[in-house]
């Protein structure tokens, strides 16, 4: 079954949806969308390091993503967080593009790192994606209550013996894992959108945090499979088409939520 490239692509899309679901909920709740962008853009620096020194792509991206998280944490007390994230996000993207251009023989592959190449996912990539998804889900599930309390009320979390900054690092690590796994699927420029849009679509349709996490996974999987099918039929770029499918589901969710509110009124 895994000899079919479309089956591998479909399994990769579902694996990314599973990985992004619980993490995307916290990104939306904590208003960390810009942080996701900065981490994804910084991933290109990890790509450049991987290509220049023949390092494993997954490990290089994780190291750079965590370094970006530490840098943002260090600057957040001195600058506006939005300002710091804006500077670091665009600076990291530009530096990554420049760094990759210096590595011989990879210019033709740059689009794959920017926009993804899900149709070229191999069995090894698939194993890595699902291993990353399992690690993210296990990590977030282990810290779910502490993460949720830290998100809803940092003061109550401290009173309960929970360290909100430590929980923030749990999210940072999980986000680095997702970016490292997703860069092969939808690319550095689109992985943050795939992380945010399904969670944003699930939010008005869910009655509890747990229900939102499940709905986010289902919406992400539907967007992945629907975008993959649309790209195959329309002969369009696969990564952007997947994100367009997620955006279409988000628009439908907003329309449904708006209609339900009007009906209740």
Q: What CATH code is carried by the domain that includes residue 84?
A: 1.10.3470.10
Can you list the residues of the chain whose pLDDT is less than 50? 108
Q: What is the DSSP string of 123-189?
A: HHHHHHHHHHHHHHHHHHHHTHHHHHHHHH-HHHHHHTT--HHHHHHHHHHHHHHHHHHHTTTT-HH
**173 within domain boundaries:** yes
- CA atoms of 221 and 18, how far apart (whole Å): 8
- CA atoms of 40 and 144, how far apart (whole Å): 23
**126 within domain boundaries:** yes
**155 within domain boundaries:** yes
**128 within domain boundaries:** yes
Q: Give the pLDDT score at 228.
A: 92
Neighbour tally for 185: CB within 10 Å? 24
**105 within domain boundaries:** yes
- CA atoms of 21 and 222, how far apart (whole Å): 12
Angle at 256 between CA 253 and CA 257, to 5 degrees: 85
**247 within domain boundaries:** no
**What is the tally of structural domains in the chain?**
1
Q: Give the pLDDT score at 116.
A: 77
Q: Give the pLDDT score at 75.
A: 65
Q: Give the pLDDT score at 120.
A: 84
**257 within domain boundaries:** no
**169 within domain boundaries:** yes
Provide the domain limits for residue 63. Answer: 5-187
Q: Give the pLDDT score at 234.
A: 93
């Amino acid at each position: 079954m895994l000899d079919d490239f479309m089956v591998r692509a479909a399994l990769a899309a579902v694996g990314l949806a599973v990985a992004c679901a619980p993490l995307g909920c916290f990104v939306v709740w904590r208003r960390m969308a810009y942080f996701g962008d900065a981490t994804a853009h910084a991933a290109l620096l990890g790509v450049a390091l991987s290509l220049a020194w023949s390092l494993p792509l997954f490990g290089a991206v994780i190291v750079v993503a965590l370094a970006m998280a530490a840098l943002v944490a260090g600057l957040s007390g001195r600058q506006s967080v939005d300002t710091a994230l804006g500077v670091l996000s665009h600076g990291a993207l530009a530096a990554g593009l420049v760094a990759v251009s210096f590595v011989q023989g990879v210019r033709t592959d740059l689009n794959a790192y920017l926009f993804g190449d899900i149709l070229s996912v191999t069995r090894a990539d698939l194993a890595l994606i699902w291993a990353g998804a399992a690690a993210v889900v296990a990590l977030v599930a282990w810290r779910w209550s502490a993460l949720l309390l830290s998100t809803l009320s940092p003061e109550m979390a401290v009173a309960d013996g929970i360290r909100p900054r430590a929980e923030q690092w749990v999210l940072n690590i999980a986000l680095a894992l997702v970016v490292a796994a997703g860069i092969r699927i939808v690319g550095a420029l689109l992985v943050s959108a795939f992380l945010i849009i399904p969670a944003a679509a699930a939010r008005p349709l869910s009655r509890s945090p747990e229900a939102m996490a499940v709905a986010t996974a289902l919406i992400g999987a539907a967007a992945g499979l629907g975008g993959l099918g649309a790209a195959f039929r329309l002969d369009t770029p696969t990564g952007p088409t997947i994100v367009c499918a997620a955006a279409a589901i988000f628009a439908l969710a907003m329309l449904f939520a708006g209609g339900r509110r009007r009906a209740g009124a």
